C-alpha cells in the first residue's frame, strides 16, 4: 500500500520575514496601549455603567419621568428612590409593533402603548435593585434602578 500523503520538500532558504529590532520602551508602550484598549473594550461592552437618568420627584412624592419610545426607550435606565411610588410615562412615536407593549416582569404588569400617545404606569419598587422592563418580544429593553 502506498501513501498518498507526500510531504512537500522543506525549503530552507531565506525566511519570509525578518525581525526588526525595536527599542524596549516602544515595545512596552505598544503592549501597554494594546492592553488598555482591551480593558476599555471589555468595560464598554460588559461593564456596568453607573449612568441613567434620575426621575424627578413631583406631587405627593411620586417620582415621574417621560420615556420616549422610538426605536428604543429613551432614557432606557431610570434611577429612582426605593420605597417610593414611580410613574413612568411612555410616549410612543415608533409605529413598529415591536414596541406596542411594555412588560414589567417583576411587577407582573403589561402596558399597551397606543401610537402617538403618552401612557402612564405607576409602580412601587419596594426594595433597592434593578427592575428591568422590555417590549412584548423582549428585544427592546430598559431598566428601573431603585436605590
Ligand atoms: Cu419588540
Bridge partners of residue 70, in order along the sequence: none
CA 107 to ligand 1 center in whole angstroms: 19
CA 44 to ligand 1 center in whole angstroms: 24
Nearest to 99 by CA among 84, 116, 113: 113
CA 47 to ligand 1 center in whole angstroms: 24
DSSP string across 75-136: SSEEEE-TTS-EEEEEEE----GGGSEEEEGGGTEEEE--TT-EEEEEE---SSEEEEEEET
C-alpha cell, 50: 453607573
Q: What is the DSSP letter of 6?
A: -
pLDDT of residue 4: 61
Determine the Cα–Cα distance for residues 141 and 13; give it in Å rounded to an integer: 59
pLDDT of residue 59: 75
CA 74 to ligand 1 center in whole angstroms: 15
| pLDDT tens sequence across 25-56 | 999 999 999 999 999 988 877 765 557 888 88
Determine the Cα–Cα distance for residues 117 and 68; give it in Å rounded to an integer: 10
Domains and CATH numbers, the chain: 53-146 (2.60.40.420)
Nearest to 88 by CA among 117, 56, 121, 58: 121
Pick out the chain residues at pLDDT < 50. 1
Determine the Cα–Cα distance for residues 111 and 104; give it in Å rounded to an integer: 8
pLDDT of residue 6: 66
CA 139 to ligand 1 center in whole angstroms: 5
59 Cβ contact list (under 8 Å, min separation 6): none
Amino acid at each position: 500500500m502506498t501513501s498518498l500523503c507526500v510531504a512537500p520538500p522543506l525549503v530552507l532558504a531565506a525566511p519570509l520575514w525578518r525581525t526588526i529590532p525595536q527599542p524596549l520602551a516602544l515595545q512596552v508602550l505598544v503592549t501597554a496601549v494594546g492592553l488598555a484598549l482591551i480593558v476599555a473594550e471589555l468595560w464598554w461592552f460588559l461593564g456596568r455603567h453607573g449612568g441613567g437618568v434620575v426621575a424627578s420627584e413631583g406631587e405627593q412624592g411620586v417620582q415621574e419621568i417621560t420615556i420616549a419610545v422610538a426605536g428604543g426607550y429613551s432614557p432606557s435606565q431610570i434611577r429612582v428612590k426605593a420605597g417610593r411610588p414611580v410613574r413612568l410615562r411612555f410616549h410612543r412615536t415608533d409605529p413598529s409593533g415591536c414596541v406596542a407593549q411594555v412588560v414589567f416582569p417583576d411587577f407582573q404588569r403589561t402596558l399597551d402603548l397606543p401610537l402617538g400617545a403618552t401612557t402612564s404606569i405607576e409602580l412601587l419598587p419596594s426594595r433597592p435593585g434593578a427592575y428591568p422592563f422590555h417590549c412584548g418580544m423582549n428585544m427592546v429593553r430598559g431598566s428601573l434602578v431603585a436605590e
